[in-house]
Structure 1
Amino acid sequence: MKTHIIPAIKLTALCIILLAIVYPISIWAIAQLSPNHGKGDLITHNNKTYYANIAQSFTSDKYFWSRPSSVDYNAAGSGGSNKGPSNEEYLKQVQARIDTFMMKNPGIAKSEIPADIVTASGSGLDPNISVQAAKIQAKRIAKSRNLYEREINNLITEHTEKPLIGLFGPEKINVLKLNIALDQLSENSK
């Protein structure tokens, strides 16, 4: 019995030292080398601080809309709804989002609406939308802000993030950064 207990105690002590002390301290130390010292991508706008890497809720006609969130944009409880495409309640939610989108963006066919603007991400906190999801909203935003649609499209192009090293992932746009730039564009055009 001694032959099993002593190695088990040693292994437990080693795991505690490595996983509860060494690993967290090393991750914390690496985070201190990042631009915001491990505090995320912070943006200050109009005396408010936002996390650019966590989705924000935008529902006004004068802003680009974010992806829907199954956790109401609460970073403390990130997660998906776990409802599949055969779930009646989920299908009703998506249809309601499609109906709202089509009502607020007249002239858009249902087949033109990108999936990411009516379905939540796996975490419920995805801060990005596709380029197509941004472009399809340009007409509504230009009209509500009394701007030219080409100005909105230029802003979309400027804020498009390319795939990682040109290979990994799709092109995307951070909604918070785009909406802040949109506010700045509106202020400058007054």
Structure 2
Amino acid sequence: MFKTIVRTSLLLMIVCGLVYPLVVTGIANLTMPYQSQGSLIYNDKNEVIGSELIGQPFTSPGYFHSRVSSINYDASASGSNNYAPSNKDMIARTKKSIDEWQKRNPGQSLDQLPSDLITNSGSGLDPDITPKAALAQLPRIKSTTGLPEDQLKHLIQKHTQRKELGLFGEDRVNVLQLNLELAGLIQ
């Protein structure tokens, strides 16, 4: 009986721990190579500059800024503090985000400030912002880059991804892809 248990355990370890993962990985690489390799984005020199799936910090005034990240966009440790809106740390961090927004965007009203620009996502790695959040940044980007507002609005519309099947999720703009095209316009 002991031999049977050992053989069964070894067989299951090989099948479940080696064969199955290799087969699934192989199928994914054949059917969805871009996604299975991390949805990586490359520059002209074929160097990886990011992923469509992981947010990055943008602090230059001439670029669209991402959502706040409680983990500094460190993909090795995704997650966020699950604070209630009444939590003192959450209130302090949100006030700090509002103060930073006002410093970067002087003269803009807080009435139109989208919440995704001052709150973080559950993972801390969200690569997207709402179209409203992108539009709220137009005055700063327009004054920094000198690009016309209509051209910037068109750029946002071009990079707006609609709800899945028209029902699920929210309209969103991938900040990295938006900024890559913006960089091409200002150089």
Would you call these one fold, judging by a TM-score over 0.5? yes
- What amino acid sits opposite 1:44 in the alignment? Y
- Cα deviation for residue 17 of structure 1 reads 4.0
RMSD, matched Cα: 2.2
Q: Is the 8 A contact 1:69 1:125 kept in 2?
A: yes
- How many residues align? The count is 184
3-state SS in 1 of match to 2:36: coil
- 1-side partners of 2:44 and 2:82: how far apart? 36
1:49-68 superposed matches below 5 A? 49=48, 50-68=50-68
- What amino acid sits opposite 2:37 in the alignment? K
Change (3 A) 1:9 1:31: same
Q: Percent identical across equivalent pairs?
A: 38
- Cα deviation for residue 151 of structure 1 reads 1.0
Structure 2 match to 1:16: 13
TM-score by length of 1: 0.86
- 2-side partners of 1:96 and 1:46: how far apart? 37
- Cα deviation for residue 30 of structure 1 reads 2.3
Change (3 A) 1:60 1:37: closer
**5+ long unaligned stretches in structure 2:** none
Structure 2 match to 1:128: 128
Q: Is the 8 A contact 1:84 1:90 kept in 2?
A: yes
Structure 1 consecutive aligned stretches of length 4 or more whose deviation exceeds 3 Å: 5-15
2:157 is the counterpart of 1:160: no
- 1-side partners of 2:147 and 2:28: how far apart? 41
3-state SS in 1 of match to 2:84: coil
3-state SS in 1 of match to 2:34: coil
Q: Is the 8 A contact 1:41 1:51 kept in 2?
A: yes
Deviations 1:80-131 (A, max 9, x none): 1232222212211111111111232234322321111111111111111111
- 1-side partners of 2:173 and 2:35: how far apart? 24
TM-score by length of 2: 0.87
Structure 2 match to 1:35: 33
Deviations 1:48-88 (A, max 9, x none): 42222111110111010011111111111111123222221
